[in-house]
Amino acid sequence: MFFTVLQTIYKDSIWLSDNYPFEEFYPLLRSYLSDELAVHSKYMSPYRFSYKYRKPVEQVIKFFLALTGDEGIFSLRFKFICENEGCINIFQEKDISDNMLYCKDCGEVYDFEKVNADNEISLLFVLNEDLKVELSKNIFFKKRSSYKTESFSNGDCSREELMLNEVTELLQKEPINDSLDKRLKRLAFKSNE
């Protein structure tokens, strides 16, 4: 299924095939995701992929974005740290209503556009559930700590988050994924509608 899902995404995008040849990136992605699952990573990091396969970070970020969507490889989560100590919110797009964000821990209400303007919203990649189940088969699970010593010790490799604003800018400069592009724009500029 992983193969077919990726193939279907590639069929719809000449840009992907031109910049990320399937024969090269299919095995890289497959092995990257298996490694992350083996250490129980919750979020997939373009930074770690970049480090592992010596690919420029921006190129990998664009690749991950192109593979994001309901029928894609990844789904997005958003992260927001509330002003009250210790409240970390991970939410989905549907959790933002009328441009408002509610802290799930303390109930504090925030204006989404304002916190986004302050660069307080970051974005995380989650592997879609069906693929996670498929790729988890035949994996030899390891302790997260062993992976950490291998690659997390290299600066950016512990990084999993991207700023929502940076991503929106990136997509504005170069459209990568039509539906994601529209959704993020709508999200980032909600009150302008």
Judge residue 7's burial from the number of C-beta atoms within 10 Å of its C-beta, 0-12 exposed, 13-18 middle, 19 or more buried. Answer: exposed
Candidates 106, 117, 133, 139: give the one binding Zn ion (CB under 5 A): 106
Q: Is 24 in the site for Zn ion (CB under 5 A)?
A: no
Q: Report CA Rg, the chain.
A: 17
Piece of 2-10, 36-44, 86-94, 141-149 that binds Zn ion (CB under 5 A): 86-94
Count of residues touching Zn ion (by CB under 5 A): 7
Residue 15 or 102 having the CB closest to Zn ion: 102
- The minimum distance between CB 112 and Zn ion, in angstroms, equals 15
Contact region for Zn ion (CB under 5 A) — 30-38, 44-52, 66-74, 76-84? 76-84
For residues 22 and 7, the answer to whether their CB atoms sit within 8 Å is yes
Report d(CA 14, CA 107) in Å as an integer: 45
Task: Collect all residues with Cβ–Cβ distance below 8 Å to 162 and sequence separation of at least 6.
Answer: 46, 61, 122, 123, 124
Residues in contact with Zn ion by the rule CB under 5 A? 82, 84, 87, 103, 105-106, 108
